[in-house]
């Protein structure tokens, strides 16, 4: 169970992401995004060592308020061999120095997001300890994904992040989100699994988007 500490963080997560996003191939804004934290959820690391968070941030400087998905992991020491995936470091008021990684490159996040899609692990509230997030929905059809011992090797392009998985499937992380108002979107056609959630929109609306889809390679 992840314990949520309400304390100071320097730099903030949005400050870290504002410096990191412009270098991504799927980023669609200008050189200086103005980010606000819009929503997201967490997953629990069964070993209790790694923080796992899926953050939705909105670039308010972008025409149309572009929403991005940032899967992040927080570690108390550097992840060996993952220097290329380091978003930055931050000072946590309780936990000290934390190394923040693009979670698509972290085997702990990869294992737990597959457990989420298969229904073996619940999505947890972003800011409340030991509380499931009931707005996160998922679906899965197919054979077990068997992530044990799997080393993630994702690739990024203009469409997002693509993570080949054991068994001939690919997890597509939708980095640039396409939110809709009203009812949550259904599972996209032709997918083996998906994850969807919502967050507050302008004018008291509720925005929904598909965050991840699982397809045959």
Q: What confidence category does residue 2 fall into, taking pLDDT thresholds of 50, 70 and 90?
A: low
Domain presence at residue 48? yes
Which residues, listed in sequence order, are joined to residue 39 by a DSSP beta bridge? 56
What's the pLDDT tens digit per position in 36-57? 999 999 999 999 999 999 999 9
What's the pLDDT tens digit per position in 5-30? 676 778 999 999 999 999 999 999 99
What's the pLDDT tens digit per position in 103-119? 999 999 999 999 999 99
What's the pLDDT tens digit per position in 130-187? 899 999 999 999 888 776 777 889 999 999 999 998 778 999 999 999 999 988 898 8
Domain presence at residue 153? yes
The whole-number pLDDT of residue 4 equals 60
Tell whether the model's pLDDT for residue 201 goes beyond 60: yes
Q: What Cα–Cα distance (Å) separates residue 64 from each residue in 58, 134, 177, 204?
A: 10, 28, 12, 17
Domain presence at residue 114? yes
Return the closest-CA partner of residue 13 out of 90, 73, 83.
90
Domain presence at residue 91? yes
- Residue 154, domain extent: 9-216
Question: What is the H or E stretch that residue 68 is in?
Answer: strand 66-75
Return the closest-CA partner of residue 59 out of 94, 20, 86.
20
Domain presence at residue 4? no
What's the pLDDT tens digit per position in 73-110? 999 999 999 999 999 999 977 777 999 999 999 999 99
Domain presence at residue 2? no
The whole-number pLDDT of residue 80 equals 94
Three-class secondary structure of residue 186 per DSSP: coil
Largest CA distance in the chain: 46
Domain presence at residue 41? yes
The whole-number pLDDT of residue 127 equals 82
**In terms of C-beta density within 10 A (0-12 exposed, 13-18 middle, 19 or more buried), how is residue 112 classed?**
buried
Tell whether the model's pLDDT for residue 1 goes beyond 60: no
Total domain count, the chain:
1
**In terms of C-beta density within 10 A (0-12 exposed, 13-18 middle, 19 or more buried), how is residue 146 classed?**
exposed
Distance of CA 115 to the CA centre of its chain: 14
Beta pairing, strands 169-173 & 206-216: antiparallel
Tell whether the model's pLDDT for residue 195 goes beyond 70: yes
Decide: 109 and 52 in contact? Cβ < 8 Å.
Answer: yes
Domain presence at residue 120? yes
């Amino acid at each position: 169970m992840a314990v949520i500490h309400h304390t100071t963080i320097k730099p903030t997560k949005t400050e870290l992401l504002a410096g990191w996003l412009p270098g991504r191939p799927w980023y669609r804004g200008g050189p200086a995004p103005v980010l606000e934290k819009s929503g997201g959820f967490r997953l629990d690391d069964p070993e209790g060592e790694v923080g796992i968070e899926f953050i939705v941030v909105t670039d308010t400087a972008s025409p149309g308020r572009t929403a991005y998905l940032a899967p992040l992991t927080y570690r108390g020491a550097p992840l060996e061999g993952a220097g290329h995936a380091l978003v930055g470091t931050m000072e946590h008021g309780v936990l000290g120095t934390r190394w923040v990684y693009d979670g698509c490159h972290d085997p702990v996040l990869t294992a737990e997001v597959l457990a989420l899609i298969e229904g073996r692990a619940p999505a947890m509230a972003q800011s409340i300890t030991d509380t499931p997030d009931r707005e996160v929905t998922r679906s899965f059809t197919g054979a077990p994904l068997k992530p044990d011992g799997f080393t993630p090797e994702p690739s990024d392009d203009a469409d997002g992040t693509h993570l080949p998985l054991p068994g001939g499937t690919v997890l597509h992380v939708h980095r640039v989100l396409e939110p809709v108002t009203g009812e949550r979107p259904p599972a996209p056609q032709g997918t083996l699994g998906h994850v969807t959630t919502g967050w507050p929109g302008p004018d008291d609306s509720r925005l929904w988007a598909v965050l991840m889809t699982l397809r045959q390679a």
